[in-house]
Structure formats: C-alpha cells, structure tokens
Amino acid sequence: MELGWLLWGAAVLLLLHFLMELSPAVNFALRIGFYCLLCVLASALTAPVCLLVNGGRTVKNMRIIKNVVKTFKYFFGLKFEVKGLENFEVEGPAIIVSNHQSILDMMGLMEVLPDNCAQVAKKELMYTGTVGLIIYLGGVIFINRKSTSSAKIVMAEVAKTMAAENVKVWVYPEGTRNCTGDFLPFKKGAFHLAIQAQVPVIPVVYSSFTAFYNPKKKLFTSGKIKVEVLPPIETKGLTADDVSDLTDRCFHTMRETLFKLSGRPKEAKDSS
C-alpha cells in the first residue's frame, strides 16, 4: 500500500513537472499557488513566535518576519543585488517611498527593510487570514483607500507616531500594484506626511520584474532584481506649498533610476 502511494505521488510530481514545462499558464498558476501557500504557512508558524518574543503588535516583530520571508527567494530562484543601504542610516524618523509591482514585492521589501520601520497598507489586507494576522502583529499601518478623510486622519496619526516612537514609515506612492515596467503617477499623501513631520524622504527603487514575472503573459520564472536605496531628500523648512515639487522630484529621480536598473534604453524612455 505504501509503495502504491509513493508511485502515485511520483507520477503526480512527474505530471506536474511535464505540465509546467509544456504550459506557461500551468507553470504560472502553480508557482503563484505555491507562493500563496508559502505565505499562509509561514504566517501561521511565525505569528506564535512574534507573540512569544514581543508579546503582541509591535514593529519589532518585523525583524522576525523579515528573517522568515528572506528565505522565500530560494524557492523561486530569485536573486537580489542591493546598493545604497547606508542611505537608511539617518537620525530619527523618515518616509521611505518605493515602487509597487506585484505580490512578490514582499520579498523585495524584506530584503532591505531597516529596523524600526512600519509599512502603510490597504485595510483589506488585515482580513486575509494568517497573512493578515502576521502583518497586523508586525505593526503595519492600515488605511482605507476608499475614504480620503479616513486616510488623512490615519496619516496625521502616523506623523505623531513617527515623532513619538522614532520610527520610519514605508509607503508605496503609486497607491496600487503596477507591473508595466514604468511608474504610475505618485499620490501626494506620503509627501504631505514628510513635510508635515519635517522628516527626510528616502526613495527605494526596484528594477522591473517584467523579464521574469508578467501576469498578463502568464510568465513566472527565476530572475534577478536590482535594488537601489537613493540618498535622503530633506524636507526641513518646506511647507504644504512645496508638496507638488517634492512629489515631482521624487517621481523623476526614481523613474530615471528604474530605467537605469532595468536596462531600459533611452529612446524607450523618451517615447513614453
């Protein structure tokens, strides 16, 4: 009986391997399914550790979560090349802004996440089972993207928390995932927050995933991701009147860096 189960298991694995080689769609679905399963299982196993070590919801749990998530890249054949980590070494709080490409961003985030840094995320993520539990325990700040007034209240509280607890805050200024190889226009919330709190903005740019990950083409293979942490942009002395200029400055600086890291030719940039 045991031999029969082993044979059946081997046959299923061989069939899956054959289908993955034969069909990009099957390969994509299986890899995404495995990634989601890995997130659920890792969250379920890590949550009790966070509770035992730190006693509940705190940004300190991100160090534990980070060490777990950093192992995910080995399952998917992803390599990270990181530059500029020293730019995180600013005194006091800061706003960190980065591009947001896909559900795989969590791996990139944890690869460089500095200590004592909270992320801003949509409120819906709080209700995603064990994944929602672990990001809640990690001190993630949830906002309601459908309610502008609610989001503004939360961000005002974030400004107070940054000053009181000396934490950095990670924000995706595009506001949603974007796997086009370019940037969406930046929303101004993060830059309002930086000026309100008079803290520097630290841009972080990840190279485009499109060469190895593209949901529209059902593409998901191994690949290399370049990450660059850019020098902090000071906001001391700036006022609400400077928000648009600060937003544009970050957008253009980060966009140029994205093209450089992704090896996108100059003529492609100029025509977009």
Question: Could you give the angle at which helices 189-197 and 148-165 cross, rounded to 10 degrees?
Answer: 40
Q: For residue 97, what are the CA distances in angstroms to 75, 205, 209?
A: 27, 8, 18
Q: What is the pLDDT of residues 151-203, one digit of tens each?
A: 667 777 777 778 777 899 999 999 888 888 899 999 998 999 999 899 999 99
Q: What is the mean pLDDT of residues 240-246?
A: 95
Indicate the number of domains in the chain.
1
CATH number of the domain to which 21 belongs: 3.40.1130
Q: What is the mean pLDDT of residues 249-262?
A: 96
Q: What is the pLDDT of residues 77-123, one digit of tens each?
A: 999 999 999 999 998 899 999 999 999 999 999 999 999 999 988 88
How far apart CA 13 and CA 9 sit, in angstroms, is 6
Q: Which helix (H) or strand (E) holds 223?
A: strand 223-229
DSSP string, 106-159: HHHHHHHPPSSEEEEEEGGGGGSHHHHHHHHHTTPEEE-TT-HHHHHHHHHHHH
How far apart CA 251 and CA 219 sit, in angstroms, is 28
pLDDT of residue 122: 84
How far apart CA 226 and CA 232 sit, in angstroms, is 19
Say what the pTM is: 0.86
267, pLDDT greater than 50: no
Backbone angles phi, psi at 122, to 5 degrees: -70, 145
pLDDT of residue 1: 47
Percentage, residues of the chain above pLDDT 90: 62
Closest listed residue to residue 235, CA positions, set 203, 204, 198, 202 = 198
Domain containing residue 29 = 2-271
Q: Reduced to 3 states, what is the DSSP secondary structure of residue 90?
A: coil
41, pLDDT greater than 80: yes
Q: What is the mean pLDDT of residues 48-66?
A: 95
pLDDT of residue 264: 72
pLDDT of residue 165: 79
Query: Where does the pLDDT of residue 272 fall: very low under 50, low under 70, confident under 90, or very high at 90 and above?
Result: very low
